[in-house]
Amino acid sequence: MTTFLGMPATAPRGVGHLRGEEPFPAAARAALANPQLRRNLGHATATIRAKSAKVIAELPDWQELRSAGSALKAYTMAHLPELLEQLEANVSAAGGVVHWAADANEANRIVTDLVRDTGHDRVIKVKSMATQEIGLNEALEAAGIQPVETDLAELIVQLGHDKPSHILVPAIHRNRSEIREIFLREMPDVDPTLTDDPPVLAAAARRYLRETFLSTKVAVSGANFAVAETGTLAVVESEGNGRMCLTLPDTLITVMGIEKVVPAWRDLEVFLQLLPRSSTGERMNPYTSMWTGVTPGDGPQGFHLVLLDNGRSAVLADEFGRQALHCIRCSACMNVCPVYERTGGHAYGSVYPGPIGAVLSPQLTGVADNASLPYASSLCGACFDACPVKIDIPSILVHLRNEVPHPRSEAAVMAAAAYTMDRPRLYAAAQRAARLSRLAGRRGRGLPPPLNGWTVGRDLPEPPKQTFRDWWAKR
Ligand code: SF4
């Protein structure tokens, strides 16, 4: 425990899908060339936004709830070591076993060993960001264990050998005819006359998953919340697949990021109001499953909780950036982000896409490994307004931009500007040169190389006809 949260901020972290595969600008350019993707994204995000706005407007104390959620998360971060120890004690007292994983490799090794110990070679999974983050499915497959995703969208992604592109709607980039093709190609014993009618597609997935639920003895889940005071874990979901995974198998293994702990049972009252309204636009989640350790004769008789650090201690060490750990994964920031709506989630090269991904992934991996993500934003502030726990994402983006290693050429330009501005005559000569370039017809156009990067996405401002100095001298 002491070494766990006491890891130095520079500790190497095992990371699954967090490291940007190619810089955001290149990946975004490729995504922008896909009109189908943009249509799917535009339709889905607009629908969720409208639903969410309607149910949020029903609550007169929404802003107070947001403030309460923010304060609870800030308190949790300030007392994280004590709360985790309290959680461990209460889970253990209720018959669960707690494991500590410093990084992705350790977490994958723990889960793989636990599954092997059961003697089974297949697990059913509840949708979980933490297990995607550590690449658990790939680790299980390498060990000869078959993971089966049971959330419908996650199943589509898994069968399509694809990656999720949205926290809440992982297959948001797919339309129904693409889903039909994936099912026909990959789903065992699928009806070859399958149509792309949504109820028909859902029924095919349901039949396949029911058989899998009833014949699989080990489940792996994430957790939305863990209550330190009682040792209770909570998973919220919409399809009932989570309830099946959490109750039917003999063994349940939960992988949870350490930031998901909340101090007390009554704190759930705040988060269980904030989360569904911000995520699915519902008043409450259709399924809220909670369990405390093991109950003899009821549900899984073996319960393991894997507490995952994987860079979170380093994020916690940054008193400003640590706000990113307040995230309750509602996806509201994605649904309002003009950048996400056009590029989709894959462009972020991380399991955490959109505005929260742009601040969380660089912090988890080290900013240098995801240096383009803090710039994947127009800083319009829509994400801050939408966030149910009031994470000031735009300010964290600016904070992280200051940590990004800047190119030498930029430092050279800044040094030259400082030198020039320090010398009035030289500065006046530079102004004259700028005005000459205006006369030479460069107004409104880009800068010449090597400075043209600055004007790729913006026009060069026109130098004024008269400088302030000229104006001053005349008067
Ligand atoms: S940052 Fe806020 S809005 Fe975005 S997913 Fe997290 S909790 Fe939701």
Cα 15 to averaged position of ligand 1 atoms, centre (Å):
21
Specify the residue for token string 């934003």. Answer: 377
Q: Which two tokens stand for residue 414?
A: 């800044």
The closest-lying atom of ligand 1 relative to the alpha carbon of residue 359 is 1
Name which of 95-104, 186-195, 399-408 the model is least confident about. 399-408
Question: What's the number of domains the chain is made of?
Answer: 2
The sheet that has 97-101: what strands, in order across it?
A: 97-101, 302-308, 251-257, 218-221, 122-125, 146-149
| Over residues 30-50, mean pLDDT | 90
Name the residue at shortest CA distance from atom 4 of ligand 1: 333
How many angstroms separate the CA atoms of 463 and 467, rounded?
Answer: 8
Name the residue at shortest CA distance from atom 3 of ligand 1: 387
The closest-lying atom of ligand 1 relative to the alpha carbon of residue 324 is 1
The H-assigned helical ranges of 231-331 are 241-247, 268-279, 312-316
Inside any domain, residue 438: yes
Indicate the burial class of 181 (C-beta count within 10 angstroms; 0-12, 13-18, 19 or more): middle
Quickly state the pLDDT bin for 182 (edges 50, 70, 90). Answer: very high
In 3D, which of 309, 419, 459, 407 has the Cα closest to residue 7? 309
Residue where a domain stops, chosen among 283, 312, 341: 312
CATH number of the domain bearing residue 151: 3.40.50.10420
Whether residues 419 and 287 fall in one domain: no
Cα 331 to averaged position of ligand 1 atoms, centre (Å):
5
- Contact indicator for 233, 133 with CB cutoff of 8 Å: no
Cα 386 to averaged position of ligand 1 atoms, centre (Å):
8
Whether residues 417 and 290 fall in one domain: no
- Contact indicator for 15, 104 with CB cutoff of 8 Å: yes
If one residue of 356, 373, 393 were mutated to test the ligand 1 pocket, choosing by the most ligand atoms within 8 A of its CB, it would be 356
Structure confidence by residue, pLDDT tens digits, 364-373: 998 888 889 9
Whether residues 108 and 223 fall in one domain: yes
Cα 5 to averaged position of ligand 1 atoms, centre (Å):
24
| Over residues 44-70, mean pLDDT | 96
44, pLDDT greater than 60: yes
Mean pLDDT for the chain overall: 91
Inside any domain, residue 350: no
Pocket lining for ligand 1, CB < 6 angstroms: 278, 327-333, 356, 386-389, 391
Name which of 182-191, 226-235, 337-346, 436-445 the model is least confident about. 436-445
8, pLDDT greater than 70: no
Whether residues 106 and 226 fall in one domain: yes
The closest-lying atom of ligand 1 relative to the alpha carbon of residue 355 is 4
Tell me which amino acid residue 465 is. K
How many angstroms separate the CA atoms of 9 and 120, rounded?
Answer: 38
Whether residues 195 and 308 fall in one domain: yes
Cα 279 to averaged position of ligand 1 atoms, centre (Å):
9
The CA angle 277-247-202, to the nearest 5 degrees, is 60
Tell me which amino acid residue 413 is. V
Name the residue at shortest CA distance from atom 7 of ligand 1: 327
Cα 455 to averaged position of ligand 1 atoms, centre (Å):
32
Structure confidence by residue, pLDDT tens digits, 453-473: 777 777 777 778 888 888 998
With a CB cutoff of 8 Å and minimum separation 6, the contacts of 201 are: 176, 179, 180, 183, 194, 195
Cα 60 to averaged position of ligand 1 atoms, centre (Å):
21
Cα 181 to averaged position of ligand 1 atoms, centre (Å):
33
Inside any domain, residue 369: no
How many angstroms separate the CA atoms of 378 and 340, rounded?
Answer: 11
Whether residues 419 and 303 fall in one domain: no
Name the residue at shortest CA distance from atom 8 of ligand 1: 330
Inside any domain, residue 354: no
The closest-lying atom of ligand 1 relative to the alpha carbon of residue 329 is 5
Inside any domain, residue 281: yes
| Over residues 188-201, mean pLDDT | 94
Whether residues 143 and 278 fall in one domain: yes
Inside any domain, residue 77: yes
Inside any domain, residue 318: no
Name the residue at shortest CA distance from atom 2 of ligand 1: 387
Cα 72 to averaged position of ligand 1 atoms, centre (Å):
15
Tell me which amino acid residue 358 is. A
Residue where a domain stops, chosen among 297, 312, 327: 312
- Owning domain of residue 454: 411-473
How many angstroms separate the CA atoms of 180 and 190, rounded?
Answer: 10
Whether residues 63 and 170 fall in one domain: yes
If one residue of 76, 383, 387 were mutated to test the ligand 1 pocket, choosing by the most ligand atoms within 8 A of its CB, it would be 387
Inside any domain, residue 300: yes
Residue where a domain stops, chosen among 290, 312, 334: 312
Structure confidence by residue, pLDDT tens digits, 432-444: 887 776 655 555 5
